[in-house]
Chain A
Amino acid sequence: MFRLLGALLAFAVLARIPVGFDVGFKFDAALAVIWAFGLLSLVLLTGYVGQISLCQATFAGVGAYTAGMMVSSFHVDYLVAVVAGVVAAAALGVVVGLPALRLRGITLAIVTLGIALVFDRYVFQDHAFEWFTGGTGGWRVSQATMFGLQMDSSAHLMAAYLVLLGLFCVVAVLLVNLHESGAGRRFRAIRDSELAAATMGVDLTRYKLLAFGMSAAIAGLGGSFYPLVAGSVSPQPFWLFTSLQFAAIAVLMGVRYVPAAALGGAFMAFVPDVLTRYGHGAFMGHAYEISYDWFQVAVGVLLIVQLIALPDGVWGDLRRRFRHAWSSVGMVGGRRVKVA
């Protein structure tokens, strides 16, 4: 009940925030939710099940390209395109999960890195896959309808944002609930020790594939809204470095916590834009210009510092501090232990 109320409250607050800002920030807000879906998929896969993956942006990209293809080639309703995108991403996730049945830890990281690179350099860019990627220019989604309503990219950005945010809140609550459910307990058993989980009768094949499929579906759900928000799909947003940034930011923010995904999504969408918008001028006579690359340098350095100093991530650390402070507040005026 608390979770539902919290999600509703978060939705009500977050839905109002981009109102009154310019189109650029509204775009960032929608993009933030798309990235947050990508990070949420890692909360499930890495935080709950303990499987490392460096190809979450690939899942998002497959969702985006499938949705773009459905809308551009078959002129379907955008809702159908999103469903197709999610299904395609989930199918790829299950396929990626197959080698994961025999691998764990670093070896899985290598394989998923290879998969991300193959999609980045080959599938999303090669002529052989033009039916899927729409050629070098990618798909342009100018006319899209959802529930029969016109969902043009720039004019209806807020509508797309609200739909995205609503979906994100629903999926986030579902994920928090999953943590305590039977499937969630099996997932966590796999994370702690695959051998022990198998001994206690957890069907490793089934639950690992389920985790990969669900995780890819979540990433694909966010990605399939990308054509609607940006108006086009190109390989650049879903290339290898986005996948690496997903992994880095998910760990940085706290890979075990659902709210950390929202925090990370906002971080990933707003910080680079704010930097490029306002990060230029002159300081003591020297002109300076802060470009997008500074953001990625900062992510790398912050990740290293965080892994050494705060192993549980930013959100995990904040949560621990808050609980600590809260418990000491609770002590005030409470039961006092008499000494002597």
Chain B
Amino acid sequence: MATFAAYTVIGLSLGGIFSLAALGIVLIYRTTGVLNFAHGAMGMFSTFVAWQVFYGWSHPFWPGWFSTFLAVVAGLIFAAAMGLLLELSVFRWVRGREPVVKAVITIGILLALQSAASLIWHNNQYHLPIYILPQQWVLSVADVPIGANSLVIIGAALGLAFGLGAFLRYTGFGRAMRAVSDSPTSASLWGVPVGRVGAVSWMLGSLVAALAGILITPFINFDTTSLTLLIIDALAAALIGGLVSLPLTVLGGFVLGLLETYPTIWIQSIGFPRLVALIVILAVLVVRNPRGFSVAAK
């Protein structure tokens, strides 16, 4: 029972990461119509930037919390800048093209970012985590230790889902983003700044991807490929939400995290969770074939 509970904590943390990554995908897909296969790669690159600041450039006499803060801020700023740059230099020019063409472009970005990262940081496996909160902070609920960092992930996923939801619903710019996601043409006729909406969603999406990447570092041995390949789990979670709904996406992320973690109690295999993700994707797409998807897939 204790194992089960411990795995539940791990599963929920992992699910929080999937949710965060998936939120960015859904946000970008809804407002710009780009299904971003490079989302994992973008998160990976920003994570490595944060990691570089933390382990490479921090002064040993700085207090730990300051280095962490600096690293996270640097990673997030870099992510936002990268999102903006991609929108301005690439996606602004293909706005009218078919969704498949845009998706293939993101595959080009994935390849370029992944190898650029392995050029800079090489193909080593790193286990040098960035702890947002001290590792010693552990909450014990009925003898099950829950790390503070797990709680941060779960909280960030839930908070962002509802925060983004509220932002889209109650602010003027959020309304503009929803208008663009319904129809860019009619939104622009009403004076909605379609270009600026695209730029902001790319910055936000990229930021959330970076957050997911930085938060996962305490939980896995990471290298340039493993973070890039988070994309498949994130896509699975996003598909559960039909690529539209933010709360369902987060729910999907948590469910997927648990589904991928429980089998590892019995099956010692690195690859088996990938099979779980594929089965979830197939189940969502083929069996359920969500309505929301056909609306969004314009």
Contact = CB atoms under 8 A, between A and B. Distances in A.
Given A52-B100, A114-B278, A300 B111 contact: yes
A107 interface: yes
B289 interface: yes
Contact of A307 (B37, B108, B119, B235): B108
Interface in B92-139: 93-94, 97-101, 103-105, 107-116, 118-119
Q: Is the interface of A mostly helix, strand, loop or mixed?
A: helix
Contacts of A245: 111
A301 interface: yes
A128 B239 CA distance: 29
A125 interface: yes
Contact of A293 (B99, B119, B271, B277): B119
Contact of B271 (A123, A297, A300): A123
Interface residues of B, number: 47
Given A114-B281, A128-B269, A106 B274 contact: no
A335 interface: no
A122 B285 contact: no
A99 B282 contact: yes
Contact of B272 (A106, A115, A126): A126
B108 A248 contact: yes
B229 A109 contact: no
Given A111-B281, A300-B112, A308-B94, A122 B274 contact: yes
A109 B98 CA distance: 14
Given A102-B285, A307-B108, A117 B274 contact: yes
Contacts of A301: 108, 112
A117 B37 CA distance: 13
B239 A110 contact: yes
A255 to B, nearest CB: 10
A39 to B, nearest CB: 15
Given A248-B107, A300-B108, A110 B281 contact: yes
Contacts of A106: 35, 99-100, 103, 297
Given A293-B119, A307-B94, A122 B108 contact: no
Contacts of A247: 104, 107
Contacts of B285: 99, 102-103, 107, 110-111
B239 A118 contact: no
B148 interface: no
A133 to B, nearest CB: 12
B275 interface: yes
B26 to A, nearest CB: 13
Interface in B263-285: 269-272, 274-275, 277-278, 281-282, 285
Contacts of B297: 105-107
B232 interface: yes
B142 interface: no
Nearest to A124: B271
B2 interface: no
Contacts of A293: 115-116, 118-119
Given A107-B285, A117-B277, 6 more contacts: A99-B282, A103-B285, A248-B111, A294-B115, A297-B115, A307-B108
25 contacts: A52-B100, A52-B104, A102-B285, A106-B99, A106-B103, A106-B297, A107-B293, A110-B285, A113-B232, A114-B232, A114-B235, A117-B229, A117-B232, A122-B272, A245-B111, A294-B119, A297-B112, A300-B108, A300-B112, A301-B108, A303-B104, A304-B90, A304-B108, A304-B112, A311-B101
Interface of A: 52, 54, 99, 102-103, 105-107, 109-111, 113-115, 117-118, 121-123, 125-128, 240-241, 244-245, 247-248, 251, 291-297, 299-304, 307-308, 311
